[in-house]
Amino acid sequence: MQTSVTNQRSPAPGRAAATRMKQRRGRLAMLGERAIEALIHLCGYSAIIFVFGIFFFVFREGAPFLAKLKPGEFLFSIDWFPTSQTNAKYGVGALIVGTLSVTGLAMVIAVPFGLGAAVFVSEFCTGKTKETLKVVIELLAAIPSVVWGFIGLTVMAPIIIKTFHVPIGVNMFNGALLLALMSVPIMVSIGEDALKAVPDSFREAGIAMGATRWQLIWRVLLPAAKNGLLAAALLGVARAIGETMAVLMATGHSVRIPHSIFDPVRTLTATIAAELGETSKGSDHYQVLFLIGILLFSITFVVNLTADLIVKGIKQK
């Protein structure tokens, strides 16, 4: 390292070159450089500005209702009658249960599939198969959520009715399946990165001791990549919680505590999407919907932050 630095600063011929260089660079070029530098800085900071901007805006719209709000009733009551003329009630308990149950069920389906696929892509595939699979999986992530919702509504609902002999096809199970399919790609690509980061020397150690492929995965790779895989699962969760369009179309959209996975439910996100257009600006209903937005924002923020901290934890080691 040191020698190369001294080489670059070798004095005599360098100085002459430097003066020549100065002359060639006009004032305009310098100005352009500055401008581009500023622009790049701006791009970098804009992410932070936008996040805070959005949070500020959502909070400003929802905040006035906080004064009238009874937190216990808001969070735990299952009475959601926002449009009642005489006795409007804003309890999001059932919506929270809806979001959590759909997300939970989705994760029960998606985590084994997603992480299994990550192991498959990373440890079993080589060359062309691997590249093809990765591209296809990423393509899965590119399908718009409204298309997923459409599939849920028209393709999956009849299948669910037929297969499970239930009266309604648009229900929690339908929504969860869609969410699972939507969060699998993110889990695969992050999970695969985590497995790729496991040093090959661990694999060699296991193989040289006579571990079978399965033993190698179970006893060496999964413990070694555990944090990264956990982060992958959490980012999948964050994706699923925030998803709106597909669950709005496929879960049946009825406010209630589900008793089986074939009951229709309604989620926080779907409620906002469906009702915000119908409210008048500044009304209680309008403000409550923004409060729900804050709630969602906080949940995904916590999940993302946890995932991020876990990933950082890996890098430090």
Partner 1 sequence: MSDAPAISITTRDLNLWYAKFQALSNITVDIKHGLITSLIGPSGCGKTTLLRCFNRVNERYGYVTTKGEIKLLGKNIYDPDVSLVELRKSVGMVFQRPNPLPISIYENVVFGIRIHHERSQLTRSALDEAVEKALTEVGLWKDLKDRLDQRATGLQLEQQQKLCIARLLPLKPEIILMDEPCSALDVEGTRAIEELMFELKGRYTIVIVTHNMAQARRTSDECIFMLMGEFIEHARTAEMFVSPKNPKTAEYIEGRYG
Provide the binding-site residues for partner 1, judged by CB under 8 A: 126, 199, 201-212, 215, 219-220, 223-224
Residue 89 DSSP symbol: E
CB-nearer residue toward partner 1: 27 or 200: 200
CB 156 within 8 A of CB 174: yes
The angle subtended at Cα 157 by Cα 156 and Cα 162, nearest 5°, is 95
Q: Which is nearer to partner 1, 125 or 153 (CB)?
A: 125
Torsion sign across C-alpha atoms 229, 230, 233, 238: negative
Buried b (16+ CB within 10 A) or exposed e, 295-311: bbbebbeebbebbeebb
User: Nearest distance from residue 216's CB to partner 1, in Å?
Assistant: 9
The Cα angle at residue 44 between residues 41 and 50, in degrees rounded to 5? 125
Cβ-based nearer residue to partner 1, 177 or 221: 221
Which residue number, 81 or 124, has a Cβ lying nearer to partner 1? 124
Report the residue number, 8 or 126, with the smaller CB distance to partner 1.
Answer: 126
User: Minimum Å distance from CB 211 to partner 1?
Assistant: 5
Considering the complex, state which of residue 183 and residue 227 has its C-beta at the smaller distance from partner 1: 227
**φ, ψ of residue 89 in degrees (nearest 5):** -125, 140
Residue type, 91: G
- The CB-of-201 to partner 1 minimum distance in angstroms stands at 4
Nearest in space to 178 (alpha carbons), one of 143, 230, 133, 132: 143
Using alpha carbons, list the distances in angstroms from residue 311 to 30, 116, 154, 179, 189: 40, 19, 39, 23, 14
User: Least distance to partner 1 from the beta carbon of 209, Å?
Assistant: 5
Q: Are strands 80-81 and 89-90 parallel, antiparallel or unpaired?
A: antiparallel
Report in angstroms how near the CB of residue 182 gets to partner 1 at its nearest: 32
Closest distance of CB 153 from partner 1, Å: 45
Which CB, 69 or 207, lies closer to partner 1? Answer: 207
3-state SS, 275-290, equals HHHHCCCCCHHHHHHH
Q: How far is the CB of 199 from partner 1 (least distance, A)?
A: 8
Which of 296, 294, 284 is closest to 98 using CA atoms? 296
H helices present in 121-244, as ranges = 127-141, 145-151, 157-164, 172-196, 200-208, 213-215, 222-224, 226-242
Beta carbon of residue 122, minimum distance to partner 1 (angstroms, whole number): 14
142 vs 208, beta carbon nearer partner 1: 208
